């Protein structure tokens, strides 16, 4: 009998492609996608047609006026269909052209297109942590059902069937994302067993967030293939177990040049003055994670330090030594929206002026 695999690997004719349009659903973190056949190949998102979807099925529109319009914003190669087929990161608008409330990309794009921001060439490195869960019991992969593994210690970057659970998913995701054109800079096993991390970047401006959403989509498709469930919850297991964050590394042109360390300190100072505003936008449920324990800083205090993983913001020893570089905002949760976080950091450090 023909196998499904042979059929899945059929090639299309040279002038036809399948484009998977991807958007963020009503919760702000659920990803949705559907595919269409188009003439191709296509490499410029401006050449892709707009599309629409049933917003009443994703909590984003009422049934009697259900059309939500998709604007293609970024193209990546499709690692599942391969050939010239593509993944398309989109954002969502009303038929009148107004970004719908869950569309955080539109406002971010405005910030990144401001002259002072684009001149500063804002670079972002996003460290996405995530937990793999068993499909039927929502308990982490590898954990005994009805019990717990041994305490944290051996798992961070560990190897072995008693320490590393889910590596195939992580490695498949690494290559699939590189194939897609996403700048994955690395991966590692995390402190809590069943938890992993990949890093995207350094990428400029809004591209970092587009790439992170594409990487999240590819990860969820891979977990679907593997029969496990992806969780971006910032504190999936209560107790003496690490949470999951999305540390955001950041630099501007000025920070990367001579004297940059002073610019960094000024920027951190401004972030400190807007700690409450940032924290409110750094992911739902973050209060369960930012306790001051498990390599986090307490949610209600702002601090920074060199090489300090217990601070809100960490500056690397390299940066201190060379007098220039970047810093790491450790506050964002794993379920943060990178459009919000990256544009907010750019806004606060470059555009915002403290009163008085």
Residues that bind a second copy (CB under 8 A): 1-4, 7-8, 10, 12, 16, 18, 25, 30-37, 52-54, 56-59, 63-67, 80-81, 95, 135, 217, 220-221, 223-224, 226-230
Closest-CA residue to 56 (of 24, 27, 26, 31): 26
User: Which lies closer to a second copy via its Cβ, residue 220 or residue 287?
Assistant: 220
| Residue 19 structure tokens | 């484009």
| Complex with a second copy: residue 57 or 171, whichever CB lies closer | 57
Residue 88: count other Cβ atoms within 10 Å of its Cβ: 26
Measured from the CB atom, the residue of 57 and 159 that comes closer to a second copy is 57
Q: Least distance (Å) from a second copy to the CB of residue 94?
A: 9
Residues paired with residue 37 on neighbouring β-strands, in sequence order: 18
Instruction: Name which of 63 and 354 has its Cβ closer to a second copy.
Output: 63
Smallest separation (angstroms) from a second copy to the CB of 169:
11
**SS3 of 256, please?**
helix
**Closest to a second copy by CB, 30 or 277:** 30
Which residues of the chain form beta strands (DSSP E)? 16-24, 31-39, 51-54, 67-77, 86-93, 123-134, 184-189, 195-204, 228-231, 246-251, 304-306, 313-315, 327-329
Cα maximum dimension of the chain: 76
Both structure tokens of 347: 């806004």
Question: Considering the complex, what minimum distance in angstroms separates the CB of residue 232 from a second copy?
Answer: 11
Shortest reach from residue 13's CB to a second copy, in Å: 8
Q: State in angstroms the smallest separation of the CB of 187 from a second copy.
A: 20
């Amino acid at each position: 009998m023909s196998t499904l695999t042979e059929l899945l690997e059929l090639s299309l004719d040279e002038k036809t492609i399948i484009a998977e349009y991807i958007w963020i659903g009503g919760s702000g973190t659920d990803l949705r996608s559907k595919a269409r056949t188009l003439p191709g190949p296509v490499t410029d998102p401006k050449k892709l047609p707009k599309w629409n979807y049933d917003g009443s099925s994703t909590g984003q529109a009422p049934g009697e006026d259900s059309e939500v319009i998709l604007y293609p914003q970024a193209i990546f190669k499709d690692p599942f269909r391969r050939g010239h087929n593509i993944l398309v990161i989109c954002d969502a608008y009303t038929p009148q052209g107004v970004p719908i409330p869950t569309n955080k990309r539109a406002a971010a794009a405005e910030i990144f297109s401001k002259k002072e921001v684009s001149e500063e060439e804002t670079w972002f490195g996003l460290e996405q942590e995530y937990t793999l869960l068993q499909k039927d019991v929502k308990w982490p992969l590898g954990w005994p059902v009805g019990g717990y593994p041994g305490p944290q210690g051996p798992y961070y970057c560990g190897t072995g069937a008693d320490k590393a659970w889910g590596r195939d998913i992580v490695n498949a995701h690494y290559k699939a994302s590189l194939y897609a054109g996403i700048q994955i800079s690395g991966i590692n096993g995390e402190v809590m067993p069943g938890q992993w991390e990949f890093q995207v970047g350094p990428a400029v401006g809004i591209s970092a967030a587009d790439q992170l959403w594409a990487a999240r989509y590819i990860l969820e498709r891979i977990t679907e293939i593997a029969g496990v469930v992806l969780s971006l919850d910032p504190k999936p297991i209560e107790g003496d177990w690490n949470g999951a964050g999305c540390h955001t590394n950041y630099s501007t042109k000025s920070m990367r040049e001579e004297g940059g360390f002073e610019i960094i300190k000024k920027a951190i100072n401004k972030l400190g003055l807007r700690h409450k505003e940032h924290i409110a936008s750094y992911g739902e449920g973050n209060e369960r994670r930012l306790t001051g324990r498990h390599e986090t800083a307490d949610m209600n205090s702002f601090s920074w330090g060199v090489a300090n993983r217990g601070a809100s913001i960490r500056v690397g020893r390299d940066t201190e030594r060379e007098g220039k570089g970047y810093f790491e905002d450790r506050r964002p949760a794993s379920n943060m929206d990178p459009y919000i976080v990256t544009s907010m950091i750019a806004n606060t450090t470059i555009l915002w002026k403290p009163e008085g």
